Structure 1
Amino acid sequence: MSGQTSLNTQLQSQGQQLTNLQIGLTTATSLLTKIQTGLGSIQSYLGDLATSPAANQFNIPTSELHNQQMETVYDTYMSANRHLTEITVVLKVDPSSQAAIRDVKRLTKDLQAQLKATNLSDATVAVGGQSAQNVDLSNLATSDFWRTALIMSLGIFLVLVFFTRSVLQPIMIILTLLGTYFTSISLTDWITRAWLDTSMLSWNTPFFTFIMIVALGVDYSIFLMMRYRDEQRRSPQTPVVNIHHAAQAVGTVVMSAVVILSGTFAALIPSGVMTLIQVAIAVIIGLILLLTALPLVMSAYIRLTYGAQSSQN
């Protein structure tokens, strides 16, 4: 009897344990369902976060802002008063390349745009390093170039108006000089990329090339137009004939000057300095273009302007 009583007691205990196990499994199933629901919510949140601007931000929990490791980071990348922050960016491209200049410009604009939506909207963004210096040089050279080009063009126009006693002739001469410059600098850029294995022109090449081509072109144009005025005073011929005589008379002198100057600038090519090589190539091309363009353009201008008078005579 005692053994049967003990067996019944054990069976009742096992039954209670099975009941508890069943309750536990039911609870575990409910928890797993909640976990699955939570994972679904997290996945949905992460999916929405990936397509939102917040995904581009790096957020640090408040509890982690003042631990010892973060203080070490602050001391490394921030000033003592925590008003200046340094961020190191390593570009994948050559820091001296044109691609690096574009990346730095885009990075600066993106950073300024991102800060506008934060508490640091009034912060000043400064970018340093070799690529940033190239950007500054490029911007400085561009602004100086256009300012110099404007001042030179205006000054040359006034001088030519004084010598030629005309307004249209200086305009034609300046347009010819500008066309010669842009043609020569474009050809130089192509030669630099194709034969000199360089991805771009030096930052100061356009500036010095413009000064040389325009200065020499103005001299040639003044020689041509002054000789044309002399022909007009001395000869009863038509303006078309006189400009042809002037071009023939000045052509020998100009051609000699072009040959001498081309040889002088060609001596800069073996220097190995890329800026001097590019300026020499551009000026030589510009001189050759001026030698042919100025007489042709001015002769065509005189022919179109005085054509009717020529036919009447």
Structure 2
Amino acid sequence: MRGIRAVGPRLAGVITGKWSAWLVLVLTAIASAGALMFGGEARSSTDSTAALPSDAQSAQVAELQRRLPSGQQNPALVVYSRDEAPLNPADREAIAAVGETFTQWAVNGQVSPPVFADDGSAALIAVPLPSDSGYERNGEVIDQLRAASRNDLPDGLIAQVTGGAGFSADVAGSFAGANTRLLLVTVAVVAVLLIVTYRSPWLWLVPLTVVGTADLVSNSMIAVVSRAIDMNIDASTTGIVDVLVFGAGTNYALLLIARYREELRRNADRRQAMRRALGSAGPAIAASAATVALSLLTLVAAVLANERAIGVAGAVGITVAALYGLVVLPAALTVCGRGLFWPFVPRPGQPEPTRTGVWARVGTFVSRRPVAILTGTLVLLALLASGLHDARLGLSRTEQFRVQAESIDGLQTLSRHFPAGQADPTVVLADETAADTVLTVAADTPGVVTIRPADRGEGLVLFDVVLAAEPDSADSYQTIRDLRERLAEVPEADALVGGSVAANLDSRDAAIRDLKVVVPLILAVVLLVLILLLRSLLAPLILVTSVVATFFAALGAGNFLFTGWLGYGGLDTSVPLLSFLFLVALGVDYNIFLTTRAREESRDGDTRQGIRTALAVTGGVITSAGILLAAVFAVLGVLPLVTLTEIGVIVGIGVLLDTLLVRTLLVPSIVMLLGRHFWWPSRLARHPAGPAPAPVAASLTAPAVAVTPAGRATRDRTAPRN
């Protein structure tokens, strides 16, 4: 046991040693360069159904459709119209002439003739493009097709390219450079907040450099993992992981530097100060990182592949960020020396302002009125959560972009002049021997406008089904369900219903299933880590409950903001689960930082004084960390998808609530009311007076150091040796 306990101090000694700290930095630089050189590109896929579970009907249709000629096509739809005016003969001639030029991009050079709307105000040309051309090539073709569609048109005639190929090109195009902008804005936000926090012209450079390097290395490691386990990584996943690494990594740096600065006021030897800081803050940081990483890994139980990818990639990113924060950052700070804090250099004998500042007064305020504060905070959280009363889950294709996209505009034009489902037909795939029966059953289904055979082969027949309802609306989803139910009554047909609308319905259903399965796993992981860390049952239950309450408050506030003020259609299907994951895993961090310090400060058995002291000494750094994390997540708003904006805003609101309300008022008021019973059933709860159990990670605490009048550090001979 002594040997195990000695590992921590020995590792801290290596990280902070006079020469070994330099060795740590050199080895890290070599390893980081190697990771960047050999990481390569992450695995990706252009298959729109790749994220769906294999037993989803739309995924099965997509797989079977690849065996048919139509499965090798991704249609682009060119829509011509005038502003609320019918097309004239010159328009029709120009449309027919331009349509002939589209053959150079079409599969087998075949383009359907123009289809004119019944009201005579719009025309539609379908251009079948190869489905395996990839995002980059598809984008190039769509750009060329858009340019050609506008050549020599009469004045006032508008051309818009939409359809599956157009939408894919706009998604890819909207992300062109978006992650670079995200990274630059994130770095700028972190830099500004670090400068404001430390009030030093160069201290901020050290944590920012360490965290930035960790982000680059984590992206390389994610690329390696994605190829090893056949996991697709898209641009949105990369953006989320960048935010996670910068947000969590900077939080770890803030906590460590704050404790290091505290120890520098007590120790003349900066290496000794860093060892003591690591001994105190290191376990809390490690526990926090473990909580977040393990919570992310619960997404492996999800059936949606994109959610599993976020879980695995995020866990890799958090692990790398924690390693750099606990190994590289302490070594860099030790090498740079005490002067790094200039002009506010911490020196032995200086008073600790945090114990008498604003947060100490907040602790005193809470201790005097715990019942009123507890009641008030719970009422506020309940009011914010009430914003969920009219929440709608799921966004249509036209609601997914924050920025203007031609494919969305074209889809809206189509819906005004053609049946709403014309732009995105539903696909029914069945056994060829039952084609007539399937045709009859599908045509009689309410909500179906037209159905026609579109392809045959391999003993299968494929029908294009045009729905009356707008794609991805509640009515379109109901029509899909009705089609599946009616066709299931024809067992000999083996009929399956797919297409984009069906795929979105399957994705929505899978997201709801994942929410029900993964949320309990996240709660179990967080609860287990807290039990092991605090050696208590009651305290972890209270902390987890407080974070869950914060989640519902943030989700309600976010839903009210999006639907009431910003005019969004609702919350996207993946938003509740991912927001819950980030808020519970990251939000509990601040409670970990607070309660581990409170446990450490409760050595005499006075828990109420311990929580006041913990709030006083951690209030400033945790508030800074929370504001920084909220700001970093808000940066997701620079990306073009509504989904990422919603996740960023909801997590940002939740983190601020956790930092400024729950950790500051709610949890301390509960501790004030419960006293030592907060730690039940640990020994700290059974001993109201006298020495309490050793604080968390006491085994990592270095020998006490006294400072002589001359400023020299000497070992306290009465202190135990590690």
Candidates 298, 302, 311, aligned match of 2:667: 298
Cα pair 2:634 2:648 within 8 Å, conserved: yes
Cα pair 2:526 2:585 within 8 Å, conserved: no
Relative to total residues, which structure has the larger strand share, 1 or 2? 2
Instruction: Name the residue aligned to 1:244.
Output: 612
Cα pair 2:483 2:497 within 8 Å, conserved: no
Instruction: Give the Cα–Cα distance (whole angstroms) in 1 for the partners of residues 620 and 642 of structure 2.
Output: 32
Instruction: Give the Cα–Cα distance (whole angstroms) in 2 for the partners of residues 169 and 124 of structure 1.
Output: 55
Candidates 453, 468, 471, aligned match of 1:76: 453
1:223 equivalent to 2:599? Answer no
| Letter of the structure 1 residue corresponding to residue 484 of structure 2 | T
Superposition pairs of residues 124-163 of structure 1, within 5 angstroms: 124-163=494-533
Cα pair 1:173 1:294 within 8 Å, conserved: no
Superposition pairs of residues 55-70 of structure 1, within 5 angstroms: none
Output one character per residue of 1:43-89: Cα deviation in whole Å (capped at 9) or x when no partner.
xxxxxxxxxxxxxxxxxxxxxx9xxxxxxxxx9379579x7565544
For residue 262 of structure 1, report the CA deviation from its aligned partner: 2.1
Structure showing greater relative contact order (alpha-carbon pairs closer than 8 Å, 6 or more residues apart): 2
For residue 99 of structure 1, report the CA deviation from its aligned partner: 4.3
Instruction: Name the residue aligned to 1:280.
Output: 648
Instruction: Give the Cα–Cα distance (whole angstroms) in 1 for the partners of residues 515 and 615 of structure 2.
Output: 32
For residue 110 of structure 1, report the CA deviation from its aligned partner: 5.1
* TM-score, with structure 2 as normaliser: 0.29
Superposition pairs of residues 38-57 of structure 1, within 5 angstroms: none
Instruction: Give the Cα–Cα distance (whole angstroms) in 2 for the partners of residues 167 and 175 of structure 1.
Output: 12
Count of equivalent residues: 230
Instruction: Give the Cα–Cα distance (whole angstroms) in 2 for the partners of residues 259 and 207 of structure 1.
Output: 22
Cα pair 1:181 1:210 within 8 Å, conserved: yes
Instruction: Name the residue aligned to 1:208.
Output: 578
Alignment CA distance shift 1:79-1:284 (3 Å): same
Cα pair 2:453 2:464 within 8 Å, conserved: no
| Letter of the structure 2 residue corresponding to residue 278 of structure 1 | E
Instruction: Give the Cα–Cα distance (whole angstroms) in 2 for the partners of residues 257 and 101 of structure 1.
Output: 43
Candidates 81, 94, 101, aligned match of 2:477: 101
- The RMSD of aligned alpha carbons is 3.1
Most deviating of 156-165 and 265-274: 265-274
Instruction: Name the residue aligned to 1:264.
Output: 632
Candidates 545, 553, 556, aligned match of 1:183: 553
Output one character per residue of 1:155-183: Cα deviation in whole Å (capped at 9) or x when no partner.
11111001111111111111122221122
Alignment CA distance shift 1:282-1:123 (3 Å): same
| Letter of the structure 2 residue corresponding to residue 95 of structure 1 | P
Alignment CA distance shift 1:294-1:123 (3 Å): farther
Output one character per residue of 1:266-310: Cα deviation in whole Å (capped at 9) or x when no partner.
22223332122111110111012112123433223323433899x
For residue 229 of structure 1, report the CA deviation from its aligned partner: 0.5
For residue 226 of structure 1, report the CA deviation from its aligned partner: 0.4
Candidates 92, 98, 105, aligned match of 2:468: 92
Instruction: Give the Cα–Cα distance (whole angstroms) in 1 for the partners of residues 655 and 553 of structure 2.
Output: 11
Cα pair 1:224 1:250 within 8 Å, conserved: yes
The percentage of aligned residue pairs carrying the same residue is: 28
SS in 2 for 1:202: coil
| Letter of the structure 2 residue corresponding to residue 139 of structure 1 | D
Alignment CA distance shift 1:162-1:188 (3 Å): same
For residue 140 of structure 1, report the CA deviation from its aligned partner: 2.3
Cα pair 1:188 1:278 within 8 Å, conserved: yes
Instruction: Name the residue aligned to 1:5.
Output: none
Return 5+ residue gaps in structure 1 as ranges: 1-64, 66-74
Instruction: Give the Cα–Cα distance (whole angstroms) in 1 for the partners of residues 619 and 476 of structure 2.
Output: 47
SS in 2 for 1:90: strand
For residue 189 of structure 1, report the CA deviation from its aligned partner: 2.2
Alignment CA distance shift 1:97-1:254 (3 Å): farther
Instruction: Give the Cα–Cα distance (whole angstroms) in 2 for the partners of residues 249 and 270 of structure 1.
Output: 35
Instruction: Give the Cα–Cα distance (whole angstroms) in 1 for the partners of residues 467 and 546 of structure 2.
Output: 42
Alignment CA distance shift 1:196-1:100 (3 Å): farther
Relative to total residues, which structure has the larger helix share, 1 or 2? 1
Cα pair 1:98 1:200 within 8 Å, conserved: no
Cα pair 1:243 1:302 within 8 Å, conserved: yes
Alignment CA distance shift 1:209-1:174 (3 Å): same
| Letter of the structure 1 residue corresponding to residue 671 of structure 2 | I
Cα pair 1:98 1:199 within 8 Å, conserved: no
Superposition pairs of residues 11-22 of structure 1, within 5 angstroms: none
Cα pair 2:602 2:609 within 8 Å, conserved: no
Instruction: Name the residue aligned to 2:699.
Output: none
Alignment CA distance shift 1:110-1:249 (3 Å): farther
Instruction: Give the Cα–Cα distance (whole angstroms) in 1 for the partners of residues 492 and 537 of structure 2.
Output: 51
SS in 1 for 2:498: coil
Instruction: Give the Cα–Cα distance (whole angstroms) in 2 for the partners of residues 176 and 157 of structure 1.
Output: 12
Output one character per residue of 1:168-212: Cα deviation in whole Å (capped at 9) or x when no partner.
111111112222112212222222222333212222222321222
Alignment CA distance shift 1:89-1:195 (3 Å): farther
SS in 1 for 2:472: coil
| Letter of the structure 2 residue corresponding to residue 263 of structure 1 | A
SS in 2 for 1:211: helix
Return 5+ residue gaps in structure 2 as ranges: 1-435, 437-451, 678-684, 690-722
Output one character per residue of 1:11-37: Cα deviation in whole Å (capped at 9) or x when no partner.
xxxxxxxxxxxxxxxxxxxxxxxxxxx
Cα pair 2:547 2:584 within 8 Å, conserved: yes
Alignment CA distance shift 1:122-1:181 (3 Å): farther
Instruction: Give the Cα–Cα distance (whole angstroms) in 2 for the partners of residues 180 and 99 of structure 1.
Output: 34
Instruction: Give the Cα–Cα distance (whole angstroms) in 2 for the partners of residues 240 and 209 of structure 1.
Output: 33
Instruction: Give the Cα–Cα distance (whole angstroms) in 2 for the partners of residues 186 and 99 of structure 1.
Output: 26
Cα pair 1:239 1:306 within 8 Å, conserved: yes
* TM-score, with structure 1 as normaliser: 0.63
SS in 2 for 1:268: helix
Alignment CA distance shift 1:110-1:305 (3 Å): farther
